[in-house]
Amino acid sequence: MDISLEKSLDGIDAAKEIRSALNIPVVFLTGLADSDTLEQAKAAEPLGYIVKPINPKELVATIEMALSQFAVGTRRAERVRRDSDAIYHSLVENLPQNIFRKDLEGRFTFANQRFCRTTGRSLEEILGKSDFDLYPAGLAEKYRADDLHVFRTGESFEAVEQHQDDGSSVQYVRVIKTPLYDSQGKRPGHSRHLLGHHGSEAARRKRSGKVRSASGRLQRPPMMPSSAWTRGA
């Protein structure tokens, strides 16, 4: 790419946009070799910088080396990603919590095996489904409203919810939902995912005024910081 383009956007800015949006490597071709231009070009992370007049053999060699470096970097990044995913999945599968991830439309995109056992469904039966496919309509509507609150505000949601087994006994479940941000820290509306987890309270308690009367919201116990559950989309 030539650094000097016949438009308002110069080659350096164009290369930054291309690298950011498409992750395509760039080799600069230019008649400019001054220190200021070189410093500006570095910000675009080019894989080559050729000063005109162009030598065809030098051009071919530079492009071939750039493609080789890019391929090596891509393979290295893929290994790092796989290792990171393996650590993440090992963590969420071994924690004594029901952990799940949803997209902006409320569809499940991940669930650990504990969550699968709790719902009595396999992962294949959960992925792509929503709360309305798993829970009674009343509960599903509440869960969906909580999800939308997280997406809209970008803030974590924490609550204690009740699951009643019979007419007198209530099981309390701690719930945390938090938005997921990508590596560039984009807002949840862009990353379009939230992460949630919940687990039963240590003991079952009788109805005793712990539940807020009208709204059904419950007194909140100390929570594990939600940032511990945040991950890129």
How large a percentage of the chain has pLDDT more than 70?
A: 71
- For the chain, residues classed under CATH 3.40.50.2300 are 11-85
pLDDT band at 161 (very low <50, low <70, confident <90, very high): confident
* pTM of the complete model beyond 0.75: no
Least confident of 63-72, 74-83, 182-191, 214-223: 214-223
* Averaged pLDDT of the chain: 76
CATH pick for 96-229 out of 3.30.450.20, 3.40.1710.10, 3.30.565.10, 3.30.70.890: 3.30.450.20
Q: Which residues contact 150 (CB under 8 A, 6 or more apart)?
A: 156, 157, 177, 178, 179, 188, 194
Which CATH topology does 11-85 take? Rossmann fold (3.40.50)
Percentage of the chain beyond pLDDT 90 is 20
Specify the DSSP element, H or E, that contains 160. strand 157-164
Backbone angles phi, psi at 4, to 5 degrees: -95, 105
> Measured between alpha carbons, how far is 25 from 22 in angstroms, rounded to an integer?
9
**What pLDDT digit, counting tens, does each position of 119-130 carry?**
889 999 999 999
CA distances to 52, 77, 78, 87 from 82, in Å = 41, 9, 6, 9
Question: Residues spanned by CATH 3.30.450.20 within the chain?
Answer: 96-229
String of b and e for 178-201 (b: at least 16 CB within 10 Å)? Answer: bbbbeeeeeebeebbbbbbbbbee
pLDDT in tens, 129-146: 999 998 888 888 988 999
